[in-house]
Structure 1
Amino acid sequence: MHGQEQQRQQQKANIRKKKEDAISSLSSSFSCAERAEYLLRRMERGYVDGDDNDNDCYDDSKYNSSRTSSSSSVPSPDRFSYNTVIAALANESFTQGAASNRRQKQQRKRKNQYQSRKDTQTKENALIDDSNQYENENKKEKSCLSAAERAEALLGRMRIRGIEPDVVGYNAVISAWSRSGEGEESARRAECVLASIEENQGNIHQHQYVRPNTVSYSSVIDAWSKSGASDGPNNAEAVLKKMESLRDKGDVDASPNIIAYNSVINAWSKSGERGAAESAESILCSLERGSNLSSLSSSENGHEMRSGSKMRKQSLHLLLPQPNYITYCSVINAWAYDRYAKDKAVRARFILDRMMEQARDGSTIDVPNHASRNRSSIERSKEMLRNAHNMVLDACARLPFNAGPSHQRNSLQILIKTYNDATIGGGLLSLSSSFKPDDVTYANAIRAFARLKKKLNEEVDIDSLIEQAYIDCQKGGLVTNLVLRTLKRDASPILCSKLLVKQTKIADS
C-alpha cells in the first residue's frame, strides 16, 4: 500500500510538472498583447490566405495551428478593436519597463565586472566573449519594437483605414510611453502624442472625438516624473500649469486632479535639485489654499447649495482638489532628501504637524478615525502615518555636514518628539496611537541619534537615547537585520557590544 501511494504521488508530481512546462512554453511563445495584435491583423486583412506577410518583431507562424485552409470572412476592425489592442500593449509596456530596469542594472553590473578584470590572456578572451554577448543582447533588444512603439503605430494604421483615433486610444498610447521605462525618451514621446491631440482638437469635422482630458495630461506628468531627466520636474510642472490654465478658462475635462499634483511633487522629491523641497511644498500650499477656499465657499453659499446645486459643490471640489496623505508624505520625503536644507528636520516636522491637523479637522486626508469603516483603508492610512513619522526621523538623520549647532539642537528636539509620537503616542492629536512602529522606525531613530551625537560633540548623553530605542525595539520584537546593521554601522563599538551582549543574555535566559 505504501508503494502504491508513493507511485500515485509521483504521478501527480509528473502531471503537475507537465502542466507547468506547458504553461511556461505557452507564455514564452506569445504574450496576451501579441495574441491581440495577431487577431487584429486577421480582422484588417479579412483573413485571406497568403496575405500574411509583415516585418513585425514577432512571427505569425506561432499561430499557424489556429489557421484553416480556406478563406473565411472576418469583421472589419473598428475603433473599439484598436483601443482594446492599444490598452493591451500599454499593460505590456509596464512589464517591459520593469524588465528594462532590471536589464539596465544587470548591464551596469556586467560593465563593472569587465572593468575590474585583470589584463591576462585567459581573462581577456573571457572579456571578449562577454562583450560580444553584451552586444548581441543589445542588438536583439533593438531589433524588436517596444510595446509603446507598436501601440503608437496602431494609431497610424487606424487612420489608413479611415478610422479617427479617439481620446481613449491616445491616452492608452501616452500611458504606454509613461510605463515603458525608457527615461527621458519615453516622456518626450508621450508629450509628442499629447501635442498631436492638441493640434487636432480644433478641427471639429475630422477630429470630433479628440480632445485631451485630465488623463491625457496626468499621464504625461507621470512620464516626466519617472524620466529621471534633470529638467523632468520643471517639464512636469509646466504641464500642470497648462492644466490649471485650461481649468481657469472653463475646460473642466482637463482640470488637474490630486494625482497630477502628487506626480509633480513626487518628481521634485526625487530630483535632488537645489530648492526641490521648496518647490514641492509650494504646490502643497496652493492645494491647501484651494481646499480652504472650497470649504469657505461651501459654508457661505449653504443656502444656494440647498436649492439644488449639488452639481456645483461637486464641480467645486473637482476644480480644487484636496491634498491627501500621499501629498504630505511626498513633501516630507522631499525635505528629507534635500541635500542643501539645513533646517530640513524643522520643515519636515512642520509638514507632519499640518498633516495631522488636517486629519483632526476631519478633512478627506484618509487617516483612521471613528468614521472609517473600510478595513483596508484603515490599514493603509496607518501605514501612511507610520511612513510619515519614519520620514521625519530620516530627515533628522540626513542633516547636512555644514549645519550649525542651532540646527543640530533643533534636529535633536524634533527627533526625540517624533520618536515619542511614533512609539508611545506622545498625545499628538490622539492619532499617533492608532499605528504601531516598525523596524524602520527604530533603525531611523538609532541612525539619527548616532549621527547627531557625532555632530553635537557629546553635549548630550545620546548613548542613553540609542540604548532606550534599542530596548524598545527588543520589547516590540522588531530587532531585524536592518536594525542590527544600523546599530553596528552608526553606534559606537562600545555601545554596540554592550547592547548585543545584553541581547544574548536575554535570549539565553
Structure 2
Amino acid sequence: QDEGDNKNKPSLVPEGDLSVACDAVLNVWAKRGTRDAAERCEAILERMEYLRRKSSLDVHPTAYSFATVIKAWANAKDTDGSQRAERAEFILQQLTKNYQHGSKMIDHVVPPDTIVYNSVIDAWAKSNDPRSGNKGDVLLKQMLDLSSNTNTNRGGKTKNVSISSCRPDIITYNTVINCWSNSGHVNAAKQAERILQQMEKQSQEQNKKQNDKGTQNGNKNNKKHKNDNDDDVIVQPNRRTYNSVLKAYSKSSLP
C-alpha cells in the first residue's frame, strides 16, 4: 500500500512505543536460539535503523535492540561458534560506529555499553576459535579507549568524548581470560596471567590514588572505590579470576 493510504488510519501501537514494540519482537526471535532467528533479528534491526533515518515515525534502535541481536547470534546453536562471534562483533562495531559519527540528540543514536561488549567477548570465549584470545584483547582495549577521553567524531565535529557506559568491569576481565583459556593458543596460560597481573596493577594504582585522596581530604576511612575523577570503579580480581587463570594453565602444555 502507498504510505498516503495509511495517513488517516489509527496505529495499533502508540507512536512513542514503536521502538519498545520492536524490541519485544526482537526478544521473541532471539529466544529461539537458531541462525534463522538471529538473521531475522538483524533484519528487524536494519529496518529500525532505516526508519530512524528515513521515516517520520518515532522508531529507532535502542541499546536493548543491539544487545538483543547480539544475544540472538551468540545463542544461535545451529551456527559455528566463530560465525556467531563474528556476527555479534559486527553488530557491536556497527553500534559503536553509529554513536561515534552520529548526533545523539537528533538521531537517537545510543552509545555502546559494558553489557553489550561483555556479550560479544563471551561469544568469542565460547567459540573455541584460535583467534578468541586476541579478539578479547582487542575488545578490552576498545572499551578502555572509549571509556577514557578520546578524540571522537560526533556529528561532523571532532572532540574528546568519554563513553563511561562501556567501562570494563570484573566480568569483562574474567571473560577475556576465558577467551585465552579456550583459544588453544600455545601461550594462552601466560596471556591469561598477563590479564590478571594487569588487573592487580590497576587495582593497586587506583587504591593508592584513593588513599592519597582520602588523606588529602582528611578522611582516611573513605571506602569509596573510585579514582580522582570519581568515575573509574576499581576492578579487583576475585576468586573466579584466579580460578580462570589456573584453568588456563591446566589446559596448557607448559611444564
Scaled to the shorter chain, the TM-score interval is 0.7 to 0.9
Partner-residue secondary structure (3-state), 2:243: helix
Question: Structure 2 vs 1, CA of residues 206 and 324 (structure 1 numbering), >3 Å: closer, same or farther?
Answer: same
CA distance in 2, matches of 1:175, 1:324: 26
Shift of 1:206: 5.0
CA distance in 2, matches of 1:306, 1:218: 35
Identity of aligned residues (%): 33
1:283-325 C-alpha deviation (Å, 9 max, x unpaired): 0001111222222222221143859x98783876844311111
Partner in structure 2 of residue 32 of structure 1: none
Question: Structure 2 vs 1, CA of residues 274 and 311 (structure 1 numbering), >3 Å: closer, same or farther?
Answer: same
Partner-residue secondary structure (3-state), 1:313: coil
CA distance in 2, matches of 1:305, 1:186: 52
Question: Structure 2 vs 1, CA of residues 167 and 73 (structure 1 numbering), >3 Å: closer, same or farther?
Answer: closer
Question: Structure 2 vs 1, CA of residues 75 and 164 (structure 1 numbering), >3 Å: closer, same or farther?
Answer: closer
* Equivalent position to 1:236, from 136, 144, 160: 136
Partner in structure 2 of residue 262 of structure 1: 174
Partner in structure 1 of residue 163 of structure 2: 251
Partner in structure 2 of residue 212 of structure 1: 112
Question: Structure 2 vs 1, CA of residues 173 and 338 (structure 1 numbering), >3 Å: closer, same or farther?
Answer: same
Partner in structure 2 of residue 197 of structure 1: 95
Question: Structure 2 vs 1, CA of residues 332 and 227 (structure 1 numbering), >3 Å: closer, same or farther?
Answer: same
Shift of 1:91: 3.1
CA distance in 1, matches of 2:146, 2:225: 18
Shift of 1:78: 0.7
Q: Superposition pairs for residues 253-402 of structure 1, below 5 Å? A: 253-303=165-215, 304=217, 306=219, 313=226, 318-339=232-253, 341-342=254-255
Shift of 1:73: 6.6
Q: Check conservation: 2:207, 2:234, Cα contact below 8 A.
A: no
CA distance in 2, matches of 1:88, 1:300: 50
Aligned residues: 221
Per the normalisation by structure 2, the TM-score is 0.76
Gaps of 5+ in 1: 1-45, 47-70, 97-144, 343-509
Q: Superposition pairs for residues 144-159 of structure 1, below 5 Å? A: 146-159=36-49
The residue identity in structure 1 corresponding to 2:66 is Y
CA distance in 2, matches of 1:301, 1:218: 31
CA distance in 1, matches of 2:190, 2:134: 13
Q: Superposition pairs for residues 7-46 of structure 1, below 5 Å? A: none
Q: Check conservation: 1:252, 1:319, Cα contact below 8 A.
A: no
CA distance in 2, matches of 1:73, 1:247: 40
* Equivalent position to 1:74, from 12, 16, 19: 12
1:192-229 C-alpha deviation (Å, 9 max, x unpaired): 11121122112206533321111222111111111121
The residue identity in structure 1 corresponding to 2:44 is L
Q: Which of the two has higher C-alpha Rg?
A: 1
CA distance in 1, matches of 2:183, 2:102: 39
Note the aligned Cα RMSD (angstroms). 2.8
Question: Structure 2 vs 1, CA of residues 275 and 317 (structure 1 numbering), >3 Å: closer, same or farther?
Answer: farther
* Equivalent position to 1:174, from 52, 61, 70: 70
CA distance in 1, matches of 2:93, 2:140: 15
